Amino acid sequence: MPDVKEFETANRPTWCPGCGNFGMWQALKQAYQEVGWSFEELAVVWGIGCHGNGADFTRCQGFHALHGRALPVATGLALSNPDLHVVVEMGDGDGYGIGLGHFAHACRRNIDVTVIVHDNQIYGLTTGQASPTTEQFMKTISTPDGVLEEPVNTLGLAIAEGATFVARGFSADPAHLTALMVAAMRHRGFAVVDVFQPCVTWNKLNTATWFRDRVYKVDETGHDPYDKNAAFALSLSTYHDLSCSPDECRLPIGVIYQEEGRATYGDGLPQLTGPLWRQALRPRDVSAAMGRLG
């Protein structure tokens, strides 16, 4: 099975020094090694954003999708070839913005894919506009007087709409993040790991230090991830106002919710017994239908 270095290409990362994408990239490569998938078994789909540059740095079968459209592509891959392990990398901007509808429907369908969200709470690639997870009242180049809306409760949305594995990680804790990614990849059903990561260039609020002072591991508090009501309640502490101190702002990381045994969308399609390219064609006589058109 490939090791960490074999998932790298000759292209070197071009992210800003200090970007949380570096920690996430390292954790992902480590997770791929630990789950033990071969290159033929893994397919990765990227959205558009700084994270999407990983398509150039990661050796694997992959597809760099349109902005916000990573999940439809991943759904097609997962259903047309059930032998593949499909991983999606998307950002808070494309995945929770223009792609939010795709996200909600993929959750409720329980598509068997793993979604890793690069959540830096800003549009980094396009120079710092407010994203759906930007803190309320934060000033950005697109909201010079501050963001009016509360941020999307992404964890709560995933739980409410039917995702069967919901977790949050922190890019500056790669060992913990790797363990979350491995658990998500081994889960059968729709698994999402939303990852807090600093954007050192455009988000001067949610820095690595800011997160480090506030995150705590839920598995050290006795949280039961199989308790849906407790998980949803925990999701409500996702974001806080700009002035909150580390004592006031406590941000949970770890497995927030998990459900085993629920049927995936693919389970309802028994005709998809394997990759479509392996299935024999079944020609049908369509002359009667064509005649009615005439």
Q: Could you read off the pLDDT of 138-161 as tens digits, one per residue?
A: 999 999 999 999 999 999 999 999
Distance CA 127, CA 285 (A): 56
| Model pLDDT, residue 110 | 98
- In the chain, DSSP assigns E strands to 42-46, 61-64, 85-91, 114-119, 165-170, 191-196, 215-217, 251-258
Distance CA 67, CA 108 (A): 21
Token reading at 25: 């990239």
| Model pLDDT, residue 237 | 79
Q: Could you read off the pLDDT of 238-256 as tens digits, one per residue?
A: 666 666 788 888 899 999 9
Q: Could you read off the pLDDT of 223-233 as tens digits, one per residue?
A: 999 999 999 99
pTM above 0.85, yes or no: yes
Domains, the chain, ordered by start:
4-293 (3.40.50.970)
Q: Does 174 score more than 90 pLDDT?
A: yes
| Model pLDDT, residue 42 | 96
Q: Does 280 score more than 90 pLDDT?
A: no
| Model pLDDT, residue 147 | 93
Encode 158-182: b = buried (16+ Cβ within 10 Å), e = exposed.
bbebbbbbbbbbbbbbbebbbbbbb
Distance CA 142, CA 139 (A): 8
When mean pLDDT is compared across 89-93, 183-187, 242-246, the lowest value belongs to 242-246
